[in-house]
Homo-oligomer: A and B are copies of this chain.
Amino acid sequence: MDRIRATYRITAGESESRVRAEALATEQSVEMPVGAIDDPHVLTDVLARVEAIRPHAGEFDVVLAIAPATTGNEAGQLMNMLFGNCSLQPEVELVDVELPEGFERAFPGPRFGIDGIRTVTGVKDRPLTCTALKPQGTPSAGLAKLARTFALAGIDVIKDDHGIANQAYAPFAERVPAVQRAVTQANQETGGRTVYAPTFSGGPRALAEQTRIAKDCGVKMALVAPMLIGLPSFFELQVDLDIPVMAHPAFGGAGRIAPPLLLGKLFRLFGADATIFPNHGGRFSFSKATCLAIADAARSPWHGLRGALPVPAGGMSVERVPEMVAGYGKDSMLLIGGGLLSAKDRLLERSREFVAAVRG
């Protein structure tokens, strides 16, 4: 198999670029002095190679060719080879990864993807609408009531706020069946197909238990923060859940792995069917170009993997819907949370305005 190509941007003078590039190749593969290695197999088939060094605005980019065998075809070890030790070098940023043909046999990407989410929600030919149950601290019954209102308004996907996990005031085992029941009931009344995506969180035992509960009560979609539970757990969870999974960027750091790579390509590679990211002009500082690059990385053709649905979010409002639809196109899901809840007593009306703005 051909090599993985990883591109790093290094904030250091070009005069040291060759030395830094070779040191990076060693660090990200054999992690020892090359002169002390005798085994020709290790030198030929394991040691990463410097494939290119390119000046970039006073810094430089290094492309390493990394042997796929070093990843053991496992998500955590792939990240280790891409950005394990060098994540501790503040002058190194991981900006892109190209995979060799055939690597997708180990990482087949989204199980459902954009088409699968359209099938589950019954939405064709327009962007999807999404909102969040908030705030944490609200008891399960209150969240179920809120979900009912959103479902009556015809919002496509209602997700838990990413801060709603498994706290005592609305534990998963109580909250998820209650909210799912409320949404199912509202769907029966309206003939709609609103989907509820609860937060899955915690260690392996908690995730297994939450998976069991979710299957029991007919949950059709999931919300997971891959960086909080860990990428290897995320990869395994999305297989076990066997429903579309939205990835949340929490704990995803900033700037050291380029957001289009982490939230777009890598989350997609590990099976995210939709990926939430902070939209430009909201509470976060991502630029418009970064946001469009994330959307592009999530849904462009790539090794035959299904596309993941881009979900711009974070301080959005109903007023911005036309601009967002124009910017992201129909294969997107627009997420407005607090912007709806601010309507308080007019929540149903504001939610309907959101739905109408996207459908119009």
A contact set with B: CB distance below 8 Å? 23, 27, 29-33, 35-39, 41-42, 45-47, 69-72, 74-77, 79-81, 83-85, 87-91, 134-138, 142, 161-163, 165-169, 201-208, 225, 228-233, 235-236, 249-256, 278, 283-286, 337-338, 341-342, 344
Taking a contact as CB atoms under 8 Å apart, the answer to whether B163 and A236 are in contact is no
Taking a contact as CB atoms under 8 Å apart, the answer to whether B136 and A202 are in contact is no
Shortest 5 CB-CB contacts between residues of A and residues of B = A230-B230, A46-B137, A204-B204, A84-B250, A30-B135
Name 14 A/B residue pairs within 8 A (Cβ), A-sorted: A33-B342, A36-B338, A39-B138, A41-B137, A42-B138, A69-B167, A69-B169, A76-B229, A80-B251, A81-B163, A84-B225, A84-B250, A90-B254, A90-B285
Taking a contact as CB atoms under 8 Å apart, the answer to whether B46 and A135 are in contact is yes
Complex CA–CA separation, A38 to B343 (angstroms): 12
Question: Which residue of B84, B165, B283, B337 is within 8 Å of A77 (Cβ)?
Answer: B165
Taking a contact as CB atoms under 8 Å apart, the answer to whether B69 and A253 are in contact is no
- Chain B residues with Cβ below 8 Å from A283 are 23, 27
Identical copies of this chain, number: 2
Taking a contact as CB atoms under 8 Å apart, the answer to whether B89 and A341 are in contact is no
* Majority secondary structure of chain A interface residues (helix, strand, loop or mixed): loop
Complex CA–CA separation, A207 to B235 (angstroms): 14
Taking a contact as CB atoms under 8 Å apart, the answer to whether A338 and B203 are in contact is no
- Chain B residues with Cβ below 8 Å from A168 are 69, 72
